[in-house]
Amino acid sequence: MDTDQFIKTLAADAGQHERPAGQALAASLLVALPVSAAMLLSTIGLRPDIRTAMHNPFFDLKFVVTLALALSAITVALHLSRPEATARGWRLLLLAPLAILGLAIGGEAMQPQRTSMLTRLLGHNSMLCLTAIPVLSLPLLIAALIGLRRGAPSNPTLAGALAGMIAAGLAATLYAAHCVDDSPLFVATWYTLATAIVAAIGALLGRRLLRY
Amino acid sequence: MRGRDEEWTDLMRSANAGDSVAYQRLLKAVTPVLRAGARRGLARAGQPIDQSEDIVQDILLAVHLKRHTWDPAAPFAPWLFAIARNKLIDTLRRRGRRVFVNIDDFAETIPSEAAPETLPAGEVTRHLEALPQRQREVLQSIAVDSASIKDTAQKLSMSEGAVRVALHRGLAALAAKMRSV
């Protein structure tokens, strides 16, 4: 086909505008969140002592960390959904949840503890954490990938990994309400590992799905 | 180049505000630059440069479908060249070449008209055949027969709205097919 003809065709379609990636991402995540929440509530549920736990700052801190992960991943993913964007500088944002965790580990270490560091790190149920977060992530990962498909990332593998981090951050926020391990050492080990698993799945999917 | 970049940015802003004449002018204005960059990239990869027209159309289609990712506060040229590089790399990779496209393949070229030895672009036409019937008919009417949306609607006894939807979906499907080659 002649390029002039092709341009005329594109111009005929000029009235159709896609929604920006940010709006599409917000919409699809809002659909997936209740699904993941229902998955949690209908299976393992909330921890029985959640009311008392809420007075423990280390319990509350888990939500700060996981939400910081989700929000920083959303911000970086949306930035990188523009074709000319580079990751330089923005990557540092992803260190925010790790920085909070680092401070929390320091804070915990300064307090007298009844259990050893290793006991707190291993926690009660690390295997459940490693399974539940990736499983709860699945609807959110699909949603994040659908939302980010509106973008035009120059590195679809990286964009997919970020979709995985968004999903893992939100799934971990839900799972934290079930998890009885509140030590930042536990969170830094197992939540991080679970996030890495989901990010790897996201990277593999993004590589194919987020090309434009 | 400053004057050119500013002109493009202005045209794209008008296009976003609904001015389809400005949009068509913009696509026409960038095409010779994209063509020169594509030829340069093909030459660097040791590929025949007479296939540049398929790459040009591939880039134009991506520009069209992803134009909402352009930030109106930013200049247009870096956004355009980022898409162009991405598409050029994609094409060369599909042909099994591991290549590094020079950043300046697109930014620093002298615009080039379609040379007589350039092969006509065949990719779009080829993928057109594989689209669902409605989308294919609409695209053929508008792209090949140069009919307006109104005339196409009459000819196919569809509403103008349905023609617009089929056109947009057809272009998106075309892009998906070009990616998956």
User: How much of chain B, in percent, has pLDDT values that exceed 70?
Assistant: 91
Query: Choosing among A9, A25, A81, which should be mutated to test the B contact, i.e. which has the most B CBs within 10 A?
Result: A9
User: How far B46 CA sits from the closest chain A CA (Å)?
Assistant: 24
Cβ contact, residue pair B18, A13, below 8 Å: no
Residues B143-173: tens digit of each pLDDT: 889 999 999 999 999 999 999 999 999 999 9
Contact A182, A119 (CB under 8 A): no
pLDDT band at residue B180 under the 50/70/90 scheme: confident
Structure tokens at A92: 């540092």
CB within 8 Å of chain A, chain B residues 43-62: 53, 56-57, 60-62
Q: Average the pLDDT over A32-37 and give the result.
A: 98
pLDDT of B99? 65
User: How far A118 CA sits from the closest chain B CA (Å)?
Assistant: 48
Contact A134, A197 (CB under 8 A): yes
Contact B87, B58 (CB under 8 A): yes
User: ipTM of the predicted structure?
Assistant: 0.92
pLDDT band at residue B58 under the 50/70/90 scheme: very high
Which of B70, B86, B149 faces A154 most closely, judged by CB atoms? B86
Contact A62, A182 (CB under 8 A): yes
pLDDT reading at A157 higher than 70: yes
Chain A residue at shortest CA distance from B82: A84
Cβ contact, residue pair A154, B82, below 8 Å: yes
pLDDT of B115? 65
Which of B71, B142, B164 faces A9 most closely, judged by CB atoms? B142
Residues A8-29: tens digit of each pLDDT: 999 999 988 888 999 999 999 9
Cβ contact, residue pair B71, A7, below 8 Å: no
Q: How far apart are CA B62 and CA B84, in angstroms?
A: 9
pLDDT of A101? 96
Amino acid occupying residue B177: K
Positive or negative: CA dihedral A187, A191, A192, A193: positive
Residues A87-100: tens digit of each pLDDT: 888 889 999 999 99
Using an 8 Å CB-CB cutoff, list chain A residues near B24.
7-8, 11, 14
User: How far A8 CA sits from the closest chain B CA (Å)?
Assistant: 7
Q: What is the mean pLDDT of chain B?
A: 89
pLDDT band at residue B37 under the 50/70/90 scheme: very high
Q: Which residue has the higher pLDDT, B125 or A71?
A: A71
Task: Report the 3 state secondary structure along chain B.
Answer: CHHHHHHHHHHHHHHHCCCHHHHHHHHHHHHHHHHHHHHHHHHHCCCCHHHHHHHHHHHHHHHHHCHHHCCCCCCHHHHHHHHHHHHHHHHHHHCCCCCCCCCHHHHCCCCCCCCCCCCCCCHHHHHHCCCCHHHHHHHHHHHHCCCCHHHHHHHCCCCHHHHHHHHHHHHHHHHHHHHHC
pLDDT band at residue B110 under the 50/70/90 scheme: confident
pLDDT band at residue B97 under the 50/70/90 scheme: low
User: How far A18 CA sits from the closest chain B CA (Å)?
Assistant: 6
Q: Average the pLDDT over A32-61 and give the result.
A: 96
Which of B24, B125, B148 faces A7 most closely, judged by CB atoms? B24
Q: Could you state, in order of their start, the residue ranges of all structural domains in chain B? A: 1-119, 122-181
What fold does the segment set B1-119 form as a domain?
Rna Polymerase Sigma Factor; Chain: A (1.10.1740)
pLDDT band at residue B103 under the 50/70/90 scheme: low
Which of A7, A18, A21 faces B28 most closely, judged by CB atoms? A7
Using an 8 Å CB-CB cutoff, list chain A residues near B79.
82-84
Whether B122-181 and B1-119 are alike in CATH topology: the answer is no
Q: In this complex, is the C-beta atom of A88 within 8 Å of any C-beta atom belonging to chain B?
A: no
pLDDT reading at B59 higher than 90: yes
pLDDT reading at A73 higher than 90: yes
Residues B65-83: tens digit of each pLDDT: 999 999 999 999 999 999 9
User: How far B125 CA sits from the closest chain A CA (Å)?
Assistant: 6
pLDDT reading at B107 higher than 90: no
pLDDT reading at B117 higher than 80: no
Contact A142, A205 (CB under 8 A): no
Cβ contact, residue pair A6, B143, below 8 Å: yes
Total CB pairs under 8 A between chain A and B: 115
- What are the backbone dihedrals phi and psi of residue A122, each rounded to the nearest 5 degrees, phi first? -75, -30
Cβ contact, residue pair B124, A19, below 8 Å: no
Q: How far apart are CA A123 and CA A58, in angstroms?
A: 14
pLDDT of B45? 86
User: Which of 2.10.210.10, 1.10.10.10, 3.10.450.40, 3.40.50.300 would CATH assign to domain B122-181?
Assistant: 1.10.10.10
Q: What is the mean pLDDT of chain A?
A: 95
Chain A residue at shortest CA distance from B71: A82
Q: How far apart are CA A13 and CA B175, in angstroms?
A: 14
Cβ contact, residue pair A19, B68, below 8 Å: yes
